[in-house]
Structure 1
Amino acid sequence: MNFLSLDRQAMARALSMGEAIEALRQALAPAMADGVQVPPRTIMTLGDSAESNQVLVMPAALPLAQAVAVKVSTITPDNPRHGRPLIHALVILLSSQTGEILALMEGAHLTALRTGAMAGLATDLLARPASRVLAVIGAGVQARSQIEAVCAVRPIEQLLLHSRSLDKARALAAWVSDRGLCPQVMVTDSVARAVRMADVICTATSTASAEPLVRAADVRPGTHINAIGGVDEMACEIDPLLLGQAAVYVEERDAALREAGELIQSLRLGVLMPGDVQEIASLLGGSVVPRGTASSLFKSVGTAIQDVAVAAALLRSARTKGLGTRVSL
């Protein structure tokens, strides 16, 4: 058995954020839906508290890439407090034609890349073309990928950062400046100050709280929001009242209605109806994009089809560039 092993350094060199966004754009287009299989993810919770550790297993098959991916990941909410990553993950990429294992990939980098790319695609489809100011709530790995993705699709001139950890926010600001992603970067002392002037807002926190971080009163009409953190039925980064005022999009409607705290709470309050929630892929099929004064919100809970699409693109590029390590078992 021979396959390619890709660590995060090789993956970072193999595929840019812009290329990952385009891989998702192609894979999620309605014309590519035939034969796609995304079984429900298996989630094992190791405890009974709101911050219990979780083990997730996510398979998917994408005929476009002639590939199947299986990701095994863990979410450990207490890890960041001890200087360890929130997420550990491994992705196995297989050929759907021969059943061979094609590659083994470091899954945390892939998760951050495809999550950022998905938010980048949503921003490209929903945010106003003239968007110049980005606010990001959170300062972890996912926040970095959100910044990269939004800056890849909009000419962001000012970035406003807020995190519960001032040190992490400052480190993220330095990282953005070092890479030249945005000419003006500011760390703010409150969520409200970060979001009030934003054209695009990204929330990327590990909150498990039902108390929203972003209040409806602080968000200007016409703002686009990517909410990618707090994937738990009790977690709520965004004020449920805001969902009643925005065009709401998700990756998979049924999964989001089961797992996204903002949607669950909005439905309970009656400010959002199930029929108000649309899948982002519908915009790739030529549907009218809601713009004007209405805000838009993309709530991500993730889907394994994103893993296989980006993993297949990574493998193609890594082979072309001679990256990775050949492993024999």
Structure 2
Amino acid sequence: MTCRFYREEEVASLLDMATAIDVVEESFRQLGTGGAENIPRQRARAPGFALHGMHAAAEYLGTAGWKMYSTTRIKARFHVGLYDIDSGQMKALIEADTLGQIRTAASSAVGARYLARKPITQLGIFGSGWQAEAQLEALATELPITQAFIYSRDQEKRESFAERMGEKLQIEIVPVHDPKDAVEDLPLVVTATTSKHPVFDGNLLAEGALVCAMGANWTFKRELDVVAIRRADNWVCDSIEACRGEAGDYVLAAEEGYFDWDKSVSLADVIAGQSIGRDNADSIVIYKTVGLAIQDVALGTKFLELAAQNPELGVDLPF
């Protein structure tokens, strides 16, 4: 077995959002039933640099792997390595910026599949970067979205986002000047920012709303204020263990006495039927994601399955 290397454009050519959502859903189910193991992210740092690593084993797929990525002031660089469980041989090395973008967005869509009060045709979204783009695409793939309200601090960026994504998804996207217009009376709110501080007033959340908060994955960052945390009836994590180490939205609220980790549940357990993710139609639900390696391994394995049908893709590595 030869290890094969794949570039970003090759990943983008084979993976679509609908496929990714189903793959990520199954990875959560397997986590909940014992068919997979996930090891949360760890970081090694130097001035101006951080190396981030996370690992997972997917027994149900016969693969295991890691995602490693470096971040500097200039750029982030992502790679996924996949191994065959039986032989221990490295199967593939994949440039994983696109793969990570898709799997992160798919996680929010899976969360909406199990936690949202449906039907949902409108949503609000905070952020105008590449993650926000994927979040909107994933939720529009999963739900019959016809209208989205986009808030970003930069007027030019939010207007450009609205024009670009509206044309791509063929839905109405309204850039808004006031953050409240991306929250008030909406059944779904997505935060996909790099902010260190809350991006909206939790008092504005509608009864029954689902919040998909995915931007903050450092303990000193929070996109949600304590009001949003306190008003919630259900607190769901992509992984409780991972969120305890990274989800500033929860970590800071817990330190301030506004959040109890014992009341949180994992989406894996919700999908496996072992926990309740939404009490009732009027419950406010927060789904906090920090990103899991099992998603990278599962989606990377799916990519290899598709790439096997396209032998012209990738190049062999000498090991």
Give the Cα separation in 1 of the matches to 2:202 and 2:35.
40
Q: Secondary structure at the match of 1:281?
A: helix
2:239 alignment partner AA: E
Matched, 1:25 2:43: no
Matched, 1:14 2:18: no
Offset at 1:227? 0.6
Matched, 1:183 2:171: yes
Q: 1:58 aligns with which of 54, 60, 69?
A: 54
Matched, 1:267 2:254: yes
Across the two proteins, how many residue pairs are aligned to each other? 315
1:113 alignment partner AA: I
Offset at 1:35? 5.5
Give the Cα separation in 2 of the matches to 1:75 and 1:168.
23
Which residue pairs with 1:68 in the alignment? 64
1:205 alignment partner AA: T
Distance 1:273 1:288, change over 3 A: closer
Give the Cα separation in 2 of the matches to 1:69 and 1:236.
29
1:251 alignment partner AA: D
Matched, 1:45 2:45: yes
Q: 1:169 aligns with which of 158, 162, 171?
A: 158
Distance 1:195 1:32, change over 3 A: closer
Residue deviations 1:180-217, cap 9 Å, x none? x242111111322222132211111112x2x3112111
Q: 1:319 aligns with which of 289, 300, 308?
A: 308
Residue deviations 1:18-38, cap 9 Å, x none? 111111111221577436333
Q: Secondary structure at the match of 2:291?
A: coil
1:184 alignment partner AA: E
Matched, 1:224 2:220: no
Which residue pairs with 2:229 in the alignment? 243
Give the Cα separation in 2 of the matches to 1:278 and 1:92.
29
Give the Cα separation in 2 of the matches to 1:166 and 1:53.
30
Q: Is there any run of 5+ residues in structure 1 with no aligned partner, and where?
A: 80-84
Distance 1:31 1:257, change over 3 A: closer
Range with greater deviation from structure 2 (121-130 or 161-170): 161-170
Q: Secondary structure at the match of 1:235?
A: coil
Give the Cα separation in 2 of the matches to 1:174 and 1:75.
30
Instruction: Say if 1:27 and 1:64, in contact at 8 Å, map to a contact too.
Output: no
Give the Cα separation in 2 of the matches to 1:151 and 1:323.
32
Offset at 1:6? 2.3
Instruction: Compute the TM-score of the two structures, normalised by the length of structure 2.
Output: 0.92
Residue deviations 1:272-309, cap 9 Å, x none? 21111110111112244423111111111111111101
Q: 2:135 aligns with which of 136, 146, 152?
A: 146
Give the Cα separation in 2 of the matches to 1:323 and 1:178.
32
Matched, 1:297 2:248: no
Distance 1:36 1:285, change over 3 A: closer
What percent of counterpart residues are identical?
23
Instruction: Say if 2:65 and 2:81, in contact at 8 Å, map to a contact too.
Output: yes
1:272 alignment partner AA: F
Matches within 5 A, 1:69-148: 69-76=65-72, 78-79=73-74, 85=75, 87-148=76-137
Residue deviations 1:214-257, cap 9 Å, x none? 21112111111111112111101011221122211112212212
Q: Secondary structure at the match of 1:198?
A: coil
Instruction: Compute the TM-score of the two structures, normalised by the length of structure 1.
Output: 0.89
Give the Cα separation in 1 of the matches to 2:9 and 2:298.
19
Offset at 1:322? 4.3
Give the Cα separation in 1 of the matches to 2:317 and 2:67.
21
Give the Cα separation in 1 of the matches to 2:314 and 2:305.
14
1:285 alignment partner AA: A
